Amino acid sequence: VASFIFNVTFHGIGQPPRKLEPEEQAVWMSQPDFEAILDAVLDRDDVRITFDDGNASDVEIAIPALLKRDQTATFFVVAGRLEKPGFLREADVSEIAAAGMSVGSHGMNHVPWTRLDRAGLHTELVVARQLLERLTGRPVAEAACPFGAYDRRALGQLRKYGYTRVYTSDGGAARVSAWLQPRNTVLRADGPESIERIAGNRPALPTAAAIAAKRFLKRWR
C-alpha cells in the first residue's frame, strides 16, 4: 500500500450546458482529454479521482467513463445547486452512490468557507450534508473546500462536525492517512502527458539508513 497518494480534481466535462464562470473556463475539459487522462492513471493505485461542483457531466460523461474502466471516484456535490440547469438532479446523487462511487459535500452555495459566520458555516457544513445524506441514504463524511479556501476556523468546524477527511486544492502528494488532503486541479489544457507533472513527483520517503543516521546524529547533539 502506497503511503502517499495523488488526489486529482476534475470539474465539468464536454460541451458546457450553461454559461461558465470565468474561473471555470480554465478547468472545464473536453471529453477526449478527460478519458485519455483516465486511461493514463488506469494502473495507478496511488491516484484518487475526484470531481467538484456537481455538474450534470458527472453522470452524463464521468460515471459511464469510470464504469467502463472499472475505476471509482469521489463526487463533491454542491447541495444548493441540485436541480438547477446544467447541474445534477437530486436523483443523480442516488445514482452516483448506486454506481459504487463516493459522494462528498462541496457545501450548499459554493462560497468560500473562510468568510462565513457561525450560522453560514452551519448551513455549508451541516445542512448541505444532511441533504446529500437524505439522497444517498448513506453517511457523507468527506468534504471539499470551495475554491480550495480554508482557514483554522473552517477546519475547526469541519472537525467538530465529524468530517473524516477534508480536501483542499493545495497540490502535491497527500499522506494516505492524513485528515487534510491536498488535491491537484486538472486544467482545460491538460492531457495524459500532464500526469507526470500532476502525479509524478513522489516525495522521498526516509530510508532506514537515513533514519538510523539521524538517530546517530541526535545522540551527539
- CA distances 88 to 54, 146, 155, Å, are 6, 17, 27
Stretch touching Zn ion by CB under 5 A, among 15-23, 52-60, 115-123, 209-217: 52-60
Q: How far is the CB of 124 from Zn ion (least distance, A)?
A: 12
Q: Are 51 and 74 in contact (CB under 8 A)?
A: yes
Q: Are 145 and 121 in contact (CB under 8 A)?
A: no
Question: What would the x/- binding string for Zn ion be over residues 98 to 117, using CB under 5 A?
Answer: --------------------
Residue indicated by cell numbers 499522506: 175
Task: Give the number of residues written for the chain.
Answer: 221
Q: How far is the CB of 145 from Zn ion (least distance, A)?
A: 9
For Zn ion, which residue has the nearest CB? 52
> Which of 35/52 has CB closer to Zn ion?
52
Q: Does 142 bind Zn ion (CB under 5 A)?
A: no
Q: Are 58 and 97 in contact (CB under 8 A)?
A: no
Closest CA to 191 of 37, 27, 47: 37
Q: Does 124 bind Zn ion (CB under 5 A)?
A: no
Q: Does 35 bind Zn ion (CB under 5 A)?
A: no
Out of 52, 58, 92, 142, the only residue in the binding site for Zn ion (CB under 5 A) is 52
Residues found near Zn ion in the complex (CB under 5 A): 52-53, 146
